[in-house]
């Protein structure tokens, strides 16, 4: 009996010990505080840096009970925008809102990110959501980025893409010789129709226009307001070439893998909220700018004809997609699949035959 009693006692202590050991690890993991650095693509004073990203950071910190603290750094503070990709891979920075189009040479799916789409593919926020979030393009992005040590948190709406100028640009014919800051497929489109596109970081554009190095610039509408381009470019040209322009939220895979699953889920949810919030604020503030600020600034809105839109779509955008499939597709089959999804989407909406 004594032996049996002793064995039972030992077993109880062993079980209690194992139970305690099993519960110490999750408890300590749950208490760990993670510190992340966020490299923004935009400058201080911009809509993302003043409103959208701070709300994301605050929301995540509150939802995680303070277990994930994120510090925002403005464009160029930690690394230049061209170095964000390797900095994420090395876990020098943990999260960034940026454009995969900047590394389309290294990551072929960068050619089919929303930021690199040629003009007039999607023409409303709802269409963008459908194409990227529900027809599979974001899934292709996620697969591709994972192969480069980066976790993809989704494409997000950053506002419509317009361009503005020191002189009137009333139609496609007026683009010849136009020196413009643009990006990705927008630059390729400008060049196709006779303009001279140049890629410059946002903080350098105002001075380049002021000194005559550039005649104008194109990007999200709020950059016209936030960077005070209205002081040097009184002509604002529409309709928007991208509705909307979009960027990607990228996370270091090393940093992501170190997080407990509940914090990962919180980040995934916060990314969805950020895209919707960005879209909503864009619409509200864009209309306020047209209604209240344009008259005050003396900005003249030039709206191109439907004939110009149709010509850009058929003469440039559709052949551009086919060219990407033919030239980039052999490097990554996901590019070909993505182009097929995009073209079927355009057929479904009647934008192409």
The predicted pLDDT at position 3 comes to 36
Side-chain-side CA neighbours of residue 287 (13 Å):
5
Q: How far is CA 37 from CA 33, 40, 79, 81, 121, in A?
A: 14, 10, 11, 15, 34
Q: Which two tokens stand for residue 169?
A: 């640009």
Domain ranges of the chain: 34-348
Q: Does residue 161 contact residue 244 with C-beta atoms inside 8 Å? A: yes
Q: Rounded distance, CA 54 to CA 42, Å?
A: 13
Q: Rounded distance, CA 108 to CA 347, Å?
A: 24
β-pair partners for 252: 150
| φ, ψ at 31 (rounded to 5°) | -85, -10
| φ, ψ at 43 (rounded to 5°) | -95, 170
Q: Rounded distance, CA 40 to CA 32, Å?
A: 25
Q: How far is CA 53 from CA 248, 284, 342, in A?
A: 13, 18, 29
Q: Which residues of the chain have pLDDT under 50?
A: 1-27
Q: Which residues contact 62 (CB under 8 A, 6 or more apart)?
A: none
Strand, coil or helix: 196 = strand
Cα Rg of the chain (Å, integer): 24
Q: Rounded distance, CA 353 to CA 343, Å?
A: 10
The predicted pLDDT at position 16 comes to 37
Q: Rounded distance, CA 248 to CA 323, Å?
A: 23
Q: Rounded distance, CA 68 to CA 335, Å?
A: 35
Where does 91-234 show beta strands of DSSP type E? 95-98, 150-165, 179-181, 196-198, 216-220
Side-chain-side CA neighbours of residue 253 (13 Å):
14
- Helix pair angle (333-348, 318-327), 10° resolution: 160
Q: Identify the CATH assignment for 34-348 out of 3.30.360.10, 1.20.1090.10, 3.40.190.170, 3.40.710.10.
A: 3.40.190.170
């Amino acid at each position: 009996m004594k032996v049996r009693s002793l064995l039972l006692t030992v077993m109880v202590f062993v079980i209690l010990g194992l139970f305690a050991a099993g519960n110490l690890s999750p408890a300590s993991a749950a208490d760990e505080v993670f510190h992340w650095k966020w490299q923004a693509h935009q400058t201080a004073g911009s809509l993302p840096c003043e409103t959208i990203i701070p709300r994301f950071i605050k929301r995540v910190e509150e939802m995680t009970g303070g277990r994930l603290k994120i510090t925002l750094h403005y464009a160029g503070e930690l690394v230049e925008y061209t170095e964000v990709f390797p900095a994420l891979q090395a876990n020098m920075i943990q999260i960034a809102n940026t454009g995969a189009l900047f590394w389309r040479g290294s990551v072929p799916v960068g050619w089919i990110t929303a930021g690199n789409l040629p003009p007039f593919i999607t023409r409303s926020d709802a269409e963008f959501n459908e194409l990227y979030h529900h027809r599979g393009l974001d899934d292709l992005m996620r697969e591709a980025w994972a192969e480069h040590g980066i976790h993809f948190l989704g494409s997000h709406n950053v506002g419509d893409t317009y361009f503005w100028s020191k002189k009137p640009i009333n139609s496609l014919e007026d683009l010849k010789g136009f020196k413009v800051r643009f990006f990705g497929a927008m630059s390729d489109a400008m060049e196709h129709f006779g303009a001279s596109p140049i890629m410059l970081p946002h903080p350098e554009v105002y001075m380049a226009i002021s000194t005559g190095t550039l005649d104008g610039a194109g990007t999200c509408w709020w950059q016209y307001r936030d960077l005070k381009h209205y002081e040097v470019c009184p002509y604002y040209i529409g309709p928007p070439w991208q509705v909307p322009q979009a960027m990607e939220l990228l996370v270091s895979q090393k940093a992501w893998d170190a997080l407990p699953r509940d914090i990962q889920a919180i980040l995934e949810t916060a990314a969805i909220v950020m895209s919707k919030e960005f879209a909503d604020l864009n619409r509200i503030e864009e209309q306020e700018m047209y209604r209240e600020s344009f008259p005050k600034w003396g900005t003249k809105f030039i709206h191109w004809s439907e004939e110009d839109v149709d010509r850009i779509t058929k003469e440039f955008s559709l052949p551009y997609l086919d060219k990407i499939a033919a030239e980039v597709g052999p490097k990554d089959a996901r590019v070909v699949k993505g182009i097929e999804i995009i073209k079927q989407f355009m057929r479904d909406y009647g934008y192409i035959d």
